[in-house]
Amino acid sequence: MNVLIVNSVTPFVRRGAEELADHLCEQLNATHLVRAEVLRIPFSWEPFEELPEQIFVHCALQLPNVDRVIALRFPAYLVPHPTRIIWLTGQCRRLDDLCGPGESDLLQMTRESRLREMIRLAESEAFSKCRRIFTASKANQERLKHYTGFDAEVLMPPLKNPELFADRGDGGYLFAGGRINVNNRQHLLVEALARTVSCPRLIVAGAPDTPEDANRLRETVRRLRLEDRVVLDFGLHAVTSIADYVNHAKACAYMPVGEDSVGYVAMEAAAASKPVITARDSGSTLRLVLNGETGCVTEPDAEDIARIIDFLVAKPARCREMGRAARCLWDSFQATWPATIDRLLS
């Protein structure tokens, strides 16, 4: 069976969907009688006027010599194929979140309203003709139902190398992985660290989305004089390096705004039996981080985060207990590659 994974990408930007596509391809190629490749289609929201043409390109693509298509996100899932499976990691949120109350540019509203209508028609055609629809999270499932009326099954992406993650002790630091940007709020963790009584260390490791994101975090560390307690390890890291950071951490922190998925950062922490600090507005991450059970849920406020950090430092036994509970909850999700491949190819 020839399986083509179709994904829409921004060149030189690597996010969760890009990692998922690569992991999925690797697992499919390890499956008996299956050959897989990834088709990466460049896509950009800018300039706005060219979006209809970009969407048309996706809708008009022909895929010969392919037995099964697995499409991951907008607008890749618009690519037609008679055996298409959609594993939805990202819908067209930009138009859903824009054009709301307070938008002052009437012309922009009109343009986006027309574009939204065009996209909804294309999505309706794609969703109605695909074999099955999966979503990476409950939030994606609910958004799909709300905006399109289509039902889907939740299929959580597994970790690439779960065997690498295990509790290797308490190295006395907090670890914050993932992309570095304003929405992931690593700056809040740095500001919270400056307010702690316990004075732990913090390691932040990940690729900044922009040079400005990197500079903003460096400046925050410098302004608060935390150079001796904060390590900023910017860049793309091998999974072995991330696992080493996670496995020796006291706890992990992941504080995105309205995250659609549980997030690899939280999944890796739970697999290593580490509690996670997250925020009340962090979306689907809260499915894995249960306050006081598998981690700590705080207000997105430096003072409240500092209080939680001090609690975890002062209560090492409780910290380990929450980490073990996080591992049990993660195991209960049964997010494994063999089961995932079976559902995608059935």
Average pLDDT over residues 234-253: 96
Residue 153: CB atoms within 10 A of its CB come to: 11
pLDDT at 180 over 90: yes
The tokens describing 312, both together, are 């975890």
pLDDT at 29 over 50: yes
Average pLDDT over residues 16-30: 92
DSSP state at residue 291:
B
Instruction: Please state, for a pLDDT cut of 70, what percent of the chain lies above it.
Output: 94
- Please tell me the predicted confidence (pLDDT) of residue 193: 97
DSSP state at residue 50:
G
Q: Give buried/exposed letters for 191-205 (b at 16+ CB in 10 A, else e).
A: bbbbebeeebbbbbb
Instruction: Please state, for a pLDDT cut of 90, what percent of the chain lies above it.
Output: 75
The answer, yes or no, to whether the previous bond of 158 is cis (omega within 30 of 0) is no
Average pLDDT over residues 257-267: 91
For 137-158, the pLDDT digits (tens) are 888 899 899 888 999 999 999 9
State the distance between the two ends of the chain, measured CA to CA, in whole angstroms: 12
- Ordered DSSP codes for 200-222: -EEEEEE-BSSHHHHHHHHHHHH
- Please tell me the predicted confidence (pLDDT) of residue 92: 61
3-state secondary structure of 300: coil
The answer, yes or no, to whether the previous bond of 11 is cis (omega within 30 of 0) is no
Closest CA to 54 of 14, 17, 10, 21: 10
Residue 200 near residue 173 (C-beta atoms within 8 A): yes
Burial class (CB in 10 A: 0-12, 13-18, 19+), 49: exposed
Question: pTM, whole model, 2 decimals?
Answer: 0.85
For 107-131, the pLDDT digits (tens) are 565 667 788 788 889 899 999 999 9
44 — pLDDT class (breaks 50, 70, 90): confident
pLDDT at 63 over 70: yes
pLDDT at 96 over 90: no
In the chain, ranges of CATH 3.40.50.2000 domains: 162-332
pLDDT at 257 over 50: yes
CATH number of 2-155: 3.40.50
Q: Which range (85-99, 206-220, 253-267, 298-312) has the least confidence? A: 85-99
* Nearest-angstrom CA–CA distance, 78 and 199: 51
Looking at domain 162-332, its CATH class is: alpha beta
The answer to whether the Cα torsion of 285, 288, 291, 296 is positive or negative is negative
The tokens describing 98, both together, are 């824009």
Q: Which range (8-17, 175-184, 263-272, 276-285) has the least confidence? A: 8-17
* Residues whose CB is less than 8 angstroms from the CB of residue 200 and which lie 6 or more positions away in sequence, other chains included: 172, 173, 174, 193, 229, 250, 309, 313
- Helices in 209-315 by DSSP H: which ranges? 211-223, 239-247, 264-271, 302-314
pLDDT at 106 over 80: no
Higher-pLDDT residue of 185, 92: 185
